[in-house]
Amino acid sequence: MTLTLHKSVAEFRRAANAVRGAGKRLGLVPTLGALHAGHLSLVREARTRTDEVAVTIFVNPTQFGPNEDFARYPRTLERDLELCRGAGVRHVFAPDASEMYPAGETHARAS
């Protein structure tokens, strides 16, 4: 099974719609990346319940409080993709913050 990396909302939406349009169920495992055994156990569980699995990898600036170091959160996309391939993930949605928060949108950090 081939893993497809999606960087835009539109790309991922098309892929998800194609899976569902084919009458299949798509499981979703949302993450901040830096995947570990816990994430992979969620992928394994999703694979038992759905036809295809997607993982999101997005270090969301709004999830970090004022005293938390957003800039230092590990970003290990290539390693994460390899782990996803090995776990049978079909789709990875890994957008940049600019994709999720386009110009003019606000994304204040959580307080």
Q: Does residue 111 fall inside a structural domain?
A: no
4-43 residue pLDDT tens: 999 999 999 999 999 999 999 999 999 999 999 999 999 9
Q: What is the distance between the alpha carbons of residues 107 and 100, in angstroms, rounded to a whole number?
A: 9
pLDDT tens for 43-74 read: 999 999 999 999 999 999 888 888 888 889 99
The domain spanning residue 67 has which CATH number? Answer: 3.40.50.620
Known catalytic residues?
Answer: 39
Distance of CA 6 to the CA centre of its chain: 9
Q: Does the residue 80 lie in any domain?
A: yes
Is 107 a member of any domain? no
Is 109 within the bounds of a domain?
Answer: no
For residue 62, give its domain range.
4-93
Residue 103: pLDDT band (50, 70, 90) is confident
34 located within any domain: yes
> Which residues, 6 or more positions from 5, have their beta carbon under 8 angstroms from its beta carbon?
81, 92, 94
User: Residue 100 falls within a domain, yes or no?
Assistant: no
Number of domains in the chain: 1
Tell me whether residue 106 is in a domain. Answer: no
